[in-house]
C-alpha cells in the first residue's frame, strides 16, 4: 500500500483510539490496534508531519477560560477592504475563527464573550470596523451536536481503500 498522503484505515483507527484516550502511550495504542510499537510510532510521526492534526488550541474550552457565551456574527464587507477587515478581526482576542464564505463579501466570525454585555461590546466593535457594512449576530443557545469526528473516522476504518 503506497501511502498517498491521505489518512488510511489504520491511521483512522489510531485517531479513534486517541479520541477515546488522548493521553494513551504509544505502547497502549500499539496494543489497541494490534500493531508493533515501531509502526505506531512511525504512523503517528507521519500524521503529525503531514499536518493531519491541527493546533492544540482547538481543545481548549473557552468556557473554562471565562467565556461561556458563543456567537456567530455574519459580516458583510466592502469588496476591496477584505484584507483590512480580516486583519482587524485578527486583532480582536474574542474572535476565535473567521471564515470567508462563498459570496465573496460575507464573513462568518466565531466569537466568544464573558456575558451579554461583553458580547454587545464585541459586536459593536466588529460593526465599527472600517470596511464592515453590515453585521448579523446570532447567539448560540445550545449545542445540539457536539463537535465530533468519530463517524468519519469509523467510515474511514470500514471503507478502507476507495478514497474519493
Reduced to 3 states, what is the DSSP secondary structure of residue 111?
strand
120-139 binders of a second copy (CB under 8 A): 138-139
* Least separation in angstroms between CB 5 and DNA: 9
- CB distance 103 to 48 below 8 Å: no
Residue 38 lies near DNA (rule: CB under 7 A): yes
Q: What character string, x for contact with a second copy (CB under 8 A) and - otherwise, covers 45-74?
A: --x--xxxxxxxxxxxxx-xxxx--x-x--
Residue 157 lies near DNA (rule: CB under 7 A): no
Region of 13-21, 22-30, 111-119, 156-164 interacting with DNA (CB under 7 A): 22-30
- CB distance 87 to 123 below 8 Å: no
Q: 85-90: list long-range contacts, CB under 8 Å, 24+ apart.
A: 85/129, 85/130, 85/131, 85/132, 88/129, 88/130, 88/131, 89/126, 89/129
Query: Sign of the CA dihedral 150, 155, 161, 164?
Result: negative
Q: Which does 50 bind (CB under 5 to 8 A by kind): DNA, a second copy, none?
A: a second copy
Indicate which single residue of 19, 20, 27, 140 sits in contact with DNA (rule: CB under 7 A): 27
Judged by beta carbon, residue 100 or residue 124, the one nearer a second copy is: 100
Residue 3 lies near DNA (rule: CB under 7 A): yes
Amino acid at each position: 500500500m503506497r501511502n498517498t498522503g491521505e489518512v488510511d484505515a489504520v491511521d483512522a483507527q489510531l485517531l479513534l483510539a486517541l479520541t477515546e484516550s488522548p493521553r494513551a502511550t504509544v505502547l497502549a495504542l500499539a496494543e489497541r490496534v494490534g500493531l508493533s510499537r515501531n509502526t505506531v510510532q512511525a504512523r503517528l510521526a507521519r500524521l503529525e508531519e503531514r499536518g493531519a492534526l491541527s493546533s492544540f488550541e482547538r481543545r481548549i474550552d473557552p468556557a473554562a477560560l471565562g467565556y461561556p457565551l458563543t456567537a456567530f456574527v455574519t459580516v458583510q464587507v466592502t469588496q476591496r477592504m477584505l484584507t483590512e477587515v480580516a486583519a482587524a478581526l485578527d486583532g480582536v482576542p474574542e474572535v476565535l475563527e473567521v471564515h470567508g464564505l462563498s459570496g465573496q463579501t460575507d464573513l462568518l466570525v466565531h466569537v466568544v464573550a464573558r456575558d451579554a454585555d461583553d458580547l454587545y461590546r464585541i459586536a459593536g466593535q466588529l460593526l465599527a470596523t472600517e470596511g464592515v457594512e453590515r453585521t448579523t449576530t446570532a447567539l448560540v443557545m445550545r449545542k445540539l451536536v457536539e463537535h465530533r469526528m468519530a463517524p468519519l473516522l469509523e467510515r474511514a476504518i470500514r471503507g478502507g481503500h476507495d478514497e474519493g
